Amino acid sequence: MSTITIKDLEKSVEFGPKDTFQKLLDLFSGKKAKKIIAFKTGTAVFDLQRVIPPDCQTVEAVFIDSPLGLEILRHSAAHVMADAVKKLFPSAKVTIGPAIENGFYYDFDYERAFTPEDLEKIEQEMAKTISADLPFVREEVSAEEAKKLFLKLNETYKLELIDDIGEPVVSLYRHGEFVDLCRGPHLPSTGYIKAFKLTSVAGAYWRGDETKPMLQRIYGTAFASPKDLKKYLFQLEEAKKRDHRKLGVQLDLFSFSDEAGPGMPIFHPKGALIRAILEDFEIKEHLRRGYEIVRGPRLLRQELWKRSGHYDNYRENMYFTEIDGQVYGLKPMNCLSHMLIYKSKLRSYRDLPIRYFELGTVNRHEKSGVLHGLLRVRQFTQDDAHILCRPDQLQEEIIGVLKFVQDVMGIFGFEYELEISTRPEKSIGSDEDWERATLALTNALESLNLNYDICPGEGAFYGPKIDIKLKDALGRKWQCSTIQCDFTLPERFDLFYIGEDGEKHRPVMLHRVILGAIERFMGVLIEHYAGAFPVWLAPVQAKILAITDDQAEYASKVYNHLRQAGLRVEVDLRREKLGYKVREAQLEKIPYILVVGEKEVQDQGVNVRLRGGKNIGFKTLKEVVDLIYNDMDEPFKQGGISYRYLY
């Protein structure tokens, strides 16, 4: 017999060599017991049917409504969905079906695309399997035995997966007549799936390789309770309303053209104006913090990209061209030019830190399948900066960037989470430098008492990084800001400064963005605000509506007055009903709607309505200007500055 400690019960029990984790579940009672679907020891997770490993010393329960429990639930739901597809469409071949954030998917090889009507039938078939409450049963068989089984079932994709696993023994999971290659863990039975929904169908290449077959990917989601599912589906509907691609057309901000090419956004006047406001804001904020503005070329010789390591580690994401018999790379990032600026003259320890900032346009070869509106494009502009500093200045500079992020995200109303991404398999530089860089990032976060998660192997190829995940109005997470710590490229480009001792010393380089790609950040903002931009960022801050032709002259006078005051305004003199014009301005999400009728002309003012429908009544032109400027200043007040500093 061996002894195991159950954290949740704060007690130890004995178990024998054939005891399963079900024995531990039997020690729990009531509602708590009904929610336990697995047990975790260290990083390993076991479903209830598994035999307790003899070296297992401490375990904790996995509840179905916990993040790990939801992952198991969704993986099990993917199996139930694959079973339903095979019953309804026997010739479909199953491939892989993992749990993903907020849901699951399964890829199928089938002769035609699945339709919404197909999804309804699949859901109905899934409901039958769930009602049957079939147990998930794990089997361990030899790889050869598994191959024979899947060959007999004509599931040829599973043969490739077994070869990739490369183990003599593999695990299978069955429920009813359905069997799948799977590591697990799974729910005790199909009846634990209480709330699920299939959400969409998309195409996906096998193993993400464009040279391999196109598959049909069915997406779905599952939650521990119908209430949680209902809340999530409401958020999905709200997200559809906020889709920046839809709002981009509705608000006339940007477009894409097949003639121009995929992944190349074209900004219309209002969208370009929002960009200009963001970029102007960025320039002022960087100058306030001691950055110097620089600009590098879009094309650089291939030799430079080889020296930096981009050619060996990143060239599949780059574009190359030949000029005068020499190969050039279109830059995917701005760091090389900034290092060349640093090298252009001798630097002293007194000169550091040096902070170079560039709104640099870059190009990256993204696969067509991942392009997504403004969120994933092939050409974009980054608010890119590189800080070159002495090692003793490193932590202070990282803290400065973190505070910069904090200030800026506060203006936009974003909460965020932090992650440290460590060394990936494909990387350059010594272990010592990676450890120093990771420690510097960790110390900076801890000095500010900031919580963070670790993402193993997700760093850049030249150094670890802090990723800042923004949380929007719907609670969705977006990757925008990042801080990367790099000891390696200064070494490769032989960057140095003369120290106090008169000797050469190597600087450290921080790569960082605050908003990230301007295009992507705009897409996030559109969805965050549902197109109703804050007044300081709105391309049109006020629209003047004349009720009849008799007020046209005065409406034009109001327009010119507000323009002279520095506000962004439009005037509508069309012979349309007032209600129609007001509704149209609200759909355009214009913050202030200024109505001009006979009384407003007589009293020399306007009637002010807000885009949400509230009517705040008559205001003089001076009161309107003050009202709008106070509204523009509101997001900046916490930082002790005014929006007007942008001008």
CA atoms in the 13 A half-sphere facing the CB of 253: 27
CATH number, domain of 46, equals 3.10.20.30
* Cβ neighbours of 26 (radius 10 Å): 10
Which pLDDT score, from 0 to 100, does residue 625 have?
Answer: 95
Per residue in 622-647, pLDDT (tens digit) is: 999 999 999 999 888 876 677 665 55
CA distances to 566, 591, 632 from 628, in Å:
11, 9, 6
CATH number, domain of 617, equals 3.40.50.800
Positive or negative, the CA dihedral 612, 617, 622, 627 is: negative
**How is residue 249 written in tokens?**
């057309």
Domain count, the chain: 4
- Judgement on whether residues 355 and 428 belong to the same structural domain of the protein: yes
Beta bridge pairs of residue 139: 172
- Judgement on whether residues 364 and 503 belong to the same structural domain of the protein: yes
pLDDT exceeding 90 applies to what percent of the chain?
Answer: 78
Q: How many helices (H) and strands (E) does the chain have?
A: 20, 33
Which pLDDT score, from 0 to 100, does residue 478 have?
Answer: 87
Under 8 Å between Cβ of 349 and 499:
yes
- Judgement on whether residues 190 and 262 belong to the same structural domain of the protein: no
Cα distance between residue 60 and residue 188, in whole Å: 17
CATH number, domain of 513, equals 3.30.930.10
- Judgement on whether residues 456 and 360 belong to the same structural domain of the protein: yes
Which pLDDT score, from 0 to 100, does residue 647 have?
Answer: 53
- Is 439 within the bounds of a domain? yes
CA distances to 497, 515, 599 from 247, in Å:
50, 21, 36
- Is 574 within the bounds of a domain? yes
Q: Could you tell me whether strands 266-267 and 254-255 are parallel, antiparallel, or unpaired per DSSP bridges?
A: antiparallel
Write out the residue range of the structural domain in which residue 78 sits.
Answer: 68-234
Beta bridge pairs of residue 379: 363
- Judgement on whether residues 35 and 76 belong to the same structural domain of the protein: no
Per residue in 36-49, pLDDT (tens digit) is: 999 999 889 999 99
Under 8 Å between Cβ of 506 and 356:
no
Give strand ranges (E) for 317-405: 319-323, 326-330, 354-363, 379-389
Give the relative orientation of helices 67-88 and 116-132 as an angle to the nearest 10 degrees: 110
Cα distance between residue 102 and residue 554, in whole Å: 54
What's the pTM value of the predicted model, to 2 decimals?
Answer: 0.80
- Judgement on whether residues 466 and 497 belong to the same structural domain of the protein: yes
**How is residue 414 written in tokens?**
């974003």
Per residue in 378-390, pLDDT (tens digit) is: 999 999 999 999 9
Per residue in 85-107, pLDDT (tens digit) is: 999 999 999 999 999 988 999 99
- Candidate from 2-16, 80-94, 171-185 with smallest mean pLDDT: 2-16
Catalytically active residues are: 335, 364, 382, 384, 386, 465, 511
- Is 611 within the bounds of a domain? yes
Per residue in 222-235, pLDDT (tens digit) is: 999 999 999 999 98
**How is residue 340 written in tokens?**
């060349």
- Is 537 within the bounds of a domain? no
- Judgement on whether residues 72 and 26 belong to the same structural domain of the protein: no
- Judgement on whether residues 77 and 191 belong to the same structural domain of the protein: yes
Positive or negative, the CA dihedral 236, 237, 242, 244 is: positive
* Residue 269, amino acid: P
Q: Could you tell me whether strands 137-142 and 169-175 are parallel, antiparallel, or unpaired per DSSP bridges?
A: antiparallel
- Is 304 within the bounds of a domain? no
Under 8 Å between Cβ of 394 and 485:
yes
Per residue in 140-168, pLDDT (tens digit) is: 999 999 999 999 999 999 999 999 999 99
**Range list of H helices, 166-301:** 226-242, 244-250, 269-288
CATH number, domain of 107, equals 3.30.980.10
Under 8 Å between Cβ of 221 and 74:
yes
- Is 307 within the bounds of a domain? no
- Is 316 within the bounds of a domain? no
- Is 247 within the bounds of a domain? no
Which pLDDT score, from 0 to 100, does residue 229 have?
Answer: 96
* Cβ neighbours of 357 (radius 10 Å): 26
- Judgement on whether residues 447 and 555 belong to the same structural domain of the protein: no
Which pLDDT score, from 0 to 100, does residue 646 have?
Answer: 58
Q: Among 27, 45, 63, which residue terminates a domain?
A: 63
Which pLDDT score, from 0 to 100, does residue 424 have?
Answer: 87
Q: Could you tell me whether strands 266-267 and 58-63 are parallel, antiparallel, or unpaired per DSSP bridges?
A: unpaired
Per residue in 404-428, pLDDT (tens digit) is: 999 999 999 898 999 999 998 888 8
Rounded mean pLDDT, 361-390: 91
The mean pLDDT of the chain is 93
- Judgement on whether residues 519 and 621 belong to the same structural domain of the protein: no
Rounded mean pLDDT, 488-503: 94
- Judgement on whether residues 520 and 563 belong to the same structural domain of the protein: no
Has residue 251 got a pLDDT over 70?
yes
**How is residue 199 written in tokens?**
């959400």
Confidence of residue 10 (pLDDT cuts 50, 70, 90): confident
- Candidate from 294-298, 479-483, 510-514 with smallest mean pLDDT: 479-483
- Judgement on whether residues 57 and 72 belong to the same structural domain of the protein: no
Per residue in 330-340, pLDDT (tens digit) is: 999 999 999 99
Which pLDDT score, from 0 to 100, does residue 371 have?
Answer: 86
Q: Among 182, 199, 234, which residue terminates a domain?
A: 234
Per residue in 449-476, pLDDT (tens digit) is: 999 999 888 888 888 999 999 988 888 8
